């Protein structure tokens, strides 16, 4: 089974590339982030023509997540149980489903903006809710993974130049501690160093030639429980999909499983 995660940065803008990538990559299950559309605008019909069912949690022009699968889509849960909300609103940042015997979550962790901003506190609270919500599945015997845009670089090696991140989000001790706490619930980073690239960044800013200069970050992660990690046969960042006109600023992260 081939499972992937991809922040598409607007599924409407990325739809032709998304459909072509699904056809060419052989992906069975894709976790999508930043759909940036209402649920009724999600291209479920186009995906169905390729054989994919869709589970969508989206409300409008911001955020939005989905799971699309051609190996079954059962037990869908939209939203994060215990979601702390931001300014009284629960944002569409999580959706989960069981696909071909594997349980997956597609998550889009809050950005945090700045360490002094209320959105940063919300980010840490959201991580706490995520850990509580996934603890049972993480400790279970079924292959299980939380996949998506975590908006945190796990180590200094996961950004192009750590000296440029002083006082910035994505690399603070509290954010990295939240990742550690999530792993302690029974999850492992199953793509710590993908096999096909020496520098496995997953995101490059559109500005200042970020991608051509490889000024990237590894913030799109796949955290799987022990049965999931044991089943992994290959893992890589599809850096080629970040190239060319109309690309997302994130690349897909792909994991092959023997299940």
Residues designated catalytic: 108, 149, 250
Q: Is 171 helix (H, G, I), strand (E, B) or coil?
A: coil
* 189 annotated to bind ligand: no
Beta strand residue intervals within 114-160, DSSP E: 144-149
**What is the C-alpha to C-alpha distance for residues 151 and 158, in angstroms, rounded to an integer?**
12
57 among annotated binding-site residues: no
235-30-25-20 Cα dihedral, nearest 10 degrees: -150
Calculate the CA 155 to chain-centre distance.
17
Do the bridges between strand 29-33 and strand 188-189 make them parallel or antiparallel, or are there none, so unpaired?
Answer: unpaired
CB neighbour burial string for 192-211, b if at least 16 within 10 angstroms, e if fewer: eebeeeeebbbbbeeeeebb
The answer for residues whose C-beta is within 8 angstroms of residue 21's C-beta and 6 or more apart is 27, 238, 241, 252
d(CA 223, CA 181): 12
Query: Is 157 annotated as contributing to ligand binding?
Result: no
Q: How many CB atoms lie within 10 A of CB 181?
A: 13
* Continuous segment of H or E residues that includes residue 181: helix 173-184
Question: Does 250 show up as a binding residue in the annotation?
Answer: yes
For 137, 145, 188, 229, 233, the CA distances from 226, given in Å and listed in that order, are: 11, 10, 7, 5, 14
Q: Which helix (H) or strand (E) holds 100?
A: none
Does 46 appear as a known binding residue? no
As annotated, the binding site for Mg(2+) includes 7, 34, 149, 151, 249-250
As annotated, the binding site includes 7, 34, 149, 151, 249-250
């Amino acid at each position: 089974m081939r499972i992937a995660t991809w922040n598409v940065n607007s599924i409407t803008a990325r739809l032709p590339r998304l459909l072509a990538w699904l056809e060419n990559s052989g992906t069975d299950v894709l976790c999508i982030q930043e759909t940036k559309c209402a649920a009724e605008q999600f291209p479920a019909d186009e995906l169905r023509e390729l054989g994919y069912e869709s589970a969508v949690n989206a409300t409008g022009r911001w955020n939005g997540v989905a799971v699309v699968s051609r190996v079954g889509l059962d037990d869908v849960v939209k939203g994060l149980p215990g979601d702390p909300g931001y300014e009284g609103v629960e944002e569409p940042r999580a959706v989960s489903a069981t696909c071909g015997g594997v349980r997956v979550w597609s998550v889009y962790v809050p950005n945090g903006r700045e360490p002094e901003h209320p959105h940063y506190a919300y980010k840490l609270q959201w991580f706490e809710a995520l850990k509580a919500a996934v603890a049972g599945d993480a400790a279970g015997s079924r292959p299980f993974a939380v996949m998506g845009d975590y908006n945190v670089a796990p180590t200094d090696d996961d950004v192009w130049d750590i000296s440029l991140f002083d006082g910035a989000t994505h690399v603070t001790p509290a954010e990295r501690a939240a990742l550690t706490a999530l792993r302690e619930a029974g999850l492992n980073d199953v793509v710590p160093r993908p096999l096909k690239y020496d520098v496995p960044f997953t995101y490059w800013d559109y500005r200042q030639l970020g991608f051509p200069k490889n000024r990237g970050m590894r913030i799109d992660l796949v955290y799987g429980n022990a049965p999931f990690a044991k089943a992994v046969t290959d893992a890589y960042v599809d850096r080629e999909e970040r190239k060319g006109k109309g690309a997302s600023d994130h690349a897909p992260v792909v994991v092959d499983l023997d299940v």
